[in-house]
Amino acid sequence: MLQWLPENVSTFGQSVDSLFYGIYYLTLVVFILVMGTLIVFLIKYRHQEGKRADYIEGSTTLEITWTAATTVIVFGLAMLSYPQWNNIKSPTQFPENPDVVVQVSGKQFNWDMTYPGPDNEFGTDDDLDLENELHVPINAVVHIRLTAEDVIHSFFVPQLRLKQDALPNRFIDVWFEATKAGRYEIPCAELCGFGHSGMLGYLNVHTQDDYDAWVQERWPQ
């Protein structure tokens, strides 16, 4: 089933995928065991003429065993996930000194990208506004200041394993580092009105040279 996952092109995507695979195999095993037991029981203990069911009211040992076992497994899973989650979503744990900072703002039904320009400050003359096109270099830490103008949208790049809702009047920081050049779609993943379907931007991951050329073209020195 997991071969349907889009290709992963972000540094942290691998950790998401590992958890995904881990849970997949775990749940697959549990599913096969439970269903297997069920089917065996259904066949073996089907009603047969002249045979009565055994009067069994339960087993405290079994109850304790399976309660403890499931608790340990799900807590173990949670333990494994805290660091990955923090690494992706907690601003205090983001890699510092980003190579690129962009503000992305969702509005019905486009993504507005704002680059701060060479002075690295938003709201100055050298800012660059682009509609639905995000340009970043490969293997570089990108910080995004995510916001929205009207309703809630959600910034989703399947190949980066990144999704974050964008809220009006709030700035939420997200980061990523892309590992493969290419052009990726940025669908909106949160219902935002009649144009929600088809609200689509693009993430262009450039090689360093291409990116430098793009910067040069936009802010000639």
Partner 1 sequence: MHDNEHASHHHEESFISKYIFSLDHKTIGKQFLIYGLIMFFLGGGLALLFRWQLAYPEKPLPIIGASQQYMDEGEVVTGADRMWERIYESEKEEWLEVNMPNGVVEPAFYNMLFTMHATIMVFFVVVPILVGAFGNFLIPLMIGTRDMAFPVLNMLSFWLAVVAAIVMTVGFFVPGGHAAAGWTGYAPLSSDAQWTGVDWGQNLWAISLLIQGFSSLVGSINYITTIINMRAPGMTFFRLPLVVWSLFIVAILLLLAFPVLSSALALLIFDRLAGTTFFTATAEGGGDPLLWQHLFWFFGHPEVYILILPGMGIASELIAVFSRKPIFGYRSMVYAMISIAFLGWIVWGHHMFQSGMRPGLGSVFMTTTMLIAVPSAIKTFNWLGTMFRGAIKFTTPMLHGIAFVSMFVIGGLSGIYMANTPVDIFIHDTYYIVAHIHYVVFGGSLFAIFGGIIFWFPKMYGRYMNDVLSKIHFWLTFVAFNCTFFPMHILGVGGHMRRISNPMQYEFLQGFEGMNIFITMSAFTLGFAQLILVFNFFWSIYRGKVAEQNPWQVTTLEWEAPTPVPHGNFGQIPTVYRGPYEYSVPGEEHDWTPQAQPEHAPATSGD
Which of 100, 130, 138, 172 contacts partner 1 by CB under 8 A? 172
Which of 11, 25, 61, 88 contacts partner 1 by CB under 8 A? 88
Residue 58, CA distances (Å) to 4, 40, 47 in order: 42, 19, 20
Residues near 174 by beta carbon (within 8 Å), at least 6 away in sequence: 89, 143, 144, 146, 155, 162, 164
Q: Report the partner that residue 123 touches, choosing among partner 1, Cu ion, none (CB closer than 5 to 8 A by kind).
A: none
- Rounded to whole angstroms, the Cα distance separating 163 from 11 reads 15
81 binds partner 1, rule: CB under 8 A: yes
20 binds partner 1, rule: CB under 8 A: yes
CB of 173: closest distance to Cu ion in angstroms? 20
Q: Which residue has the tokens 């088809």?
A: 198
Q: Residues 47-66 vs partner 1: string with x where CB under 8 A?
A: xx--xxxxxxxxx--xx--x
Specify whether the CB–CB gap between 17 and 161 falls below 8 A: yes
Which of 163, 210, 214, 218 contacts partner 1 by CB under 8 A? 163
Binding site for Cu ion (CB under 5 A): 153, 188, 192, 196, 199
CB of 108: closest distance to Cu ion in angstroms? 8
Find the binding residues for partner 1 in span 100-159 (CB under 8 A): 108, 150-152, 154, 156, 158-159
What phi and psi values does residue 28 have, to the nearest 5 degrees?
Answer: -60, -45
- Rounded to whole angstroms, the Cα distance separating 135 from 115 reads 10
164 binds partner 1, rule: CB under 8 A: yes
- Rounded to whole angstroms, the Cα distance separating 153 from 105 reads 9
- # binding residues, partner 1 (CB under 8 A): 85
CB of 95: closest distance to partner 1 in angstroms? 16
